[in-house]
């Protein structure tokens, strides 16, 4: 490799093969006059490096594509080191392609490259193993722009909070996807500033609900301008006659669907809008029966709007809430429940609103196309991933055999952590086992960098997550990094650990 990390250029075109798909066989032959593929809708040129070329050809052969393609090795070992400038210098023949696919980690301005060479260039997936999905789902993958479920996010201790604090919490909820801010009232706790809080929230454009078992609290909230009241039953429908707020109806007695039927009939006779909540119970305290009640309510009333308070499950179960939200909103999607009441009281439920927002979008998209809620978006898989180990240890060893420089590469496979450079290939399950083999005991910056990266790699391996060196782990919707985007048009600057050593450390 040259001093700037670039593989010395080799003559292009000599080893390039054109692969032609035929329903009966796949053959590859050197490009020769008269050896063109059969007419295809599109011909794609794939640019790659020496180490990935064989695997790329095999993957393309396995997916039996509907397009013709040429695989061209650009004269470098590692495809991920490819740049737009390198392509501009080295690509002398585009082989009649209609577009060019480059590795997903290729850096540089592809729009300018496309303009310069009068041919569309685009990035493929970061990992070759994801190439089939890249082609199979690209044109069909739905967006997450639409949903039909409304999130009520409850501020559970609003009576004890100042108005400014209520506003801050409401803004956070709205940022995470909440549509309605629910002011929770507490038993035997005065909420003297309720009206002030409602006015302040309305001034910032929030939809408001007031949640109380006390009819007087609900009456005050409605008169102050609340959009929804949680909750009325057959004996408190008179509150709805006093205010314009939309009520959420519950059974007068827990589990009594007949009383809920009467409340529904009462609101229908008034010609008023309303929602219905049969009440979700915690696990071991009626959870399964409560799901049956939702189903039965939908059977009895096919067209009523329904709400599900999911907090009795997310708050009262010590398990990660992202999966619970996905499951509960899946039930809502099937039953046509188009509103939920979410809470973030327990620390383990601190991302419940954000999770519900993503879940409703994924489930809407899946239902809209009549598909399972999979391969639409991976944001709900915070701890695990569909394809955590893109390469086997044998494949990594094959990569290692071609390495000629001292820079360490870190990858994980199903067997554990792997770190390698030209001087050796080392594997372990515990990063501490690797340190004595790396020879960085006198290089504090390098040792620190490798420690951070191996720590990330160990977490990824233990959980079954995808690990990419120099990139933070992806925790889905559970965590939003300060800088979530990587600009593929620019080169990554050297980190602090690569700076010049201080004089006192020499």
Q: Which long-range contacts (CB under 8 A, 24 or more apart) does 278-285 make?
A: 278/250, 278/251, 278/306, 279/250, 279/251, 279/254, 279/255, 279/309, 280/308, 280/309, 280/310, 280/312, 280/313, 280/328, 281/312, 282/312, 282/313, 282/316, 282/317, 283/313, 283/316, 283/317
The rounded distance, in Å, linking the Cα atoms of 112 and 103 is 17
Q: Summarize pLDDT for 99-142 with one digit per residue, the tens.
A: 999 999 898 999 999 999 999 999 998 888 788 888 874 444 57
Cβ(183)–Cβ(206) below 8 Å: no
What is the rounded average pLDDT for all residues in the chain? 87
What is the 3 state secondary structure string of 271-293? CCCCEECCCCCCCCCCHHHHHHH
The rounded distance, in Å, linking the Cα atoms of 332 and 336 is 6
Higher-confidence residue of 372 and 486: namely: 372
Question: Residue 260 has which token pair?
Answer: 């809920």
Kindly state the percentage of the chain with pLDDT values over 70: 86
Residue limits of CATH 3.40.50 in the chain: 17-137
Q: Does domain 17-137 have CATH number 3.40.50?
A: yes
Residue 277 scores a pLDDT above 50 = yes
The rounded distance, in Å, linking the Cα atoms of 235 and 247 is 13
Please state the rounded mean pLDDT for residues 161-166. Answer: 97
Cβ(387)–Cβ(130) below 8 Å: yes
Tell me the whole-structure pTM to 2 decimals: 0.73
Residue limits of CATH 3.20.20.20 in the chain: 150-368
Strand partners, 69: 19, 44
The rounded distance, in Å, linking the Cα atoms of 178 and 184 is 15
Neighbouring residues of 38: CB distance < 8 A, sequence distance ≥ 6: 20, 22, 68
Residue 19 scores a pLDDT above 50 = no
Cβ(153)–Cβ(131) below 8 Å: no
Angle between helices 287-300 and 257-270 (to 10 degrees): 40
Kindly state the percentage of the chain with pLDDT values over 90: 71
Q: CA 96 from chain center: how many Å?
A: 37
Q: Summarize pLDDT for 54-67 with one digit per residue, the tens.
A: 888 888 888 878 88
The rounded distance, in Å, linking the Cα atoms of 450 and 410 is 9
The rounded distance, in Å, linking the Cα atoms of 96 and 119 is 10
On the 0-12 / 13-18 / 19+ scale of CB atoms within 10 A, 192 is exposed
Question: What is the CATH number that goes with domain 150-368?
Answer: 3.20.20.20
């Amino acid at each position: 490799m040259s001093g700037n990390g670039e593989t010395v250029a080799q003559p292009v075109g000599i080893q390039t093969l054109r692969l032609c798909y035929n329903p009966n066989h796949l053959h590859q032959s050197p490009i020769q006059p008269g050896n063109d593929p059969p007419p295809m809708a599109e011909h794609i040129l794939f640019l790659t490096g020496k180490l990935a070329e064989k695997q790329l050809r095999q993957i393309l052969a396995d997916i039996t594509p509907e397009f013709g393609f040429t695989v061209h090795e650009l004269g470098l070992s590692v495809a991920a080191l490819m740049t737009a400038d390198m392509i501009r210098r080295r690509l002398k023949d585009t082989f009649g392609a209609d577009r060019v696919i480059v590795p997903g980690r290729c850096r540089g301005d592809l729009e300018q490259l496309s303009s310069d060479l009068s041919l569309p260039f685009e990035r493929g997936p970061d990992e070759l193993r994801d190439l089939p999905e890249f082609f199979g789902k690209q044109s069909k993958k739905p967006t997450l722009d639409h949903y039909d479920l409304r999130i009520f996010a409850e501020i559970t201790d609003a009576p004890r909070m100042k108005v400014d604090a209520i506003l801050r919490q409401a803004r956070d909820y709205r940022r995470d996807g909440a549509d309605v801010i629910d002011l929770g009232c507490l038993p035997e706790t005065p909420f003297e500033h309720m009206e002030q809080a409602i006015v302040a929230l309305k001034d910032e454009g929030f939809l408001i609900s007031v949640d109380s078992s006390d009819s007087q609290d609900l009456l005050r909230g409605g008169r102050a301008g609340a959009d929804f009241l949680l909750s009325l039953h057959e004996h408190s429908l008179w509150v709805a006659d006093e205010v314009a707020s939309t009520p959420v109806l519950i059974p007068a007695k827990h589990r009594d669907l007949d009383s809920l039927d009467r409340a529904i009939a009462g609101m229908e006779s008034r010609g008023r809008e309303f929602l219905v909540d049969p009440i979700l119970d915690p696990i071991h305290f009626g959870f399964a029966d409560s799901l049956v009640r939702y189903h039965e309510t939908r059977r009895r009333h096919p067209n009523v709007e329904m709400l599900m308070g999911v907090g009795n499950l997310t708050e009262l179960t010590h398990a990660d809430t992202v999966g619970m939200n996905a499951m509960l909103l899946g039930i809502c999607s099937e039953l046509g429940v188009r509103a939920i009441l979410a809470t973030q009281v327990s620390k383990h439920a601190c991302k419940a609103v954000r999770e519900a927002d993503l879940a409703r979008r994924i489930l809407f998209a899946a239902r809209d196309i009549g598909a399972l809620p999979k391969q639409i978006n991976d944001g709900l898989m915070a701890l695990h991933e569909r394809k955590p180990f893109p390469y086997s240890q044998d494949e990594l060893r094959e990569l290692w055999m071609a390495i000629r420089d001292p820079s360490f590469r870190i990858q994980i496979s199903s067997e554990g952590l792997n770190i390698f450079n030209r001087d050796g290939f080392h594997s372990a399950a515990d990063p501490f086992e690797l340190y004595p083999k790396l020879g960085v005991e006198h290089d504090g910056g390098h040792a620190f960098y490798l420690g951070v990266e191996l720590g990330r790699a160990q977490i990824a391996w233990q959980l079954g997550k995808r690990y990419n060196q120099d990139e933070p782990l992806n925790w889905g919707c559970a965590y939003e990094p300060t800088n979530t985007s990587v600009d593929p048009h620019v080169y990554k600057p050297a980190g602090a650990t690569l700076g010049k050593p201080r004089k006192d450390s020499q």
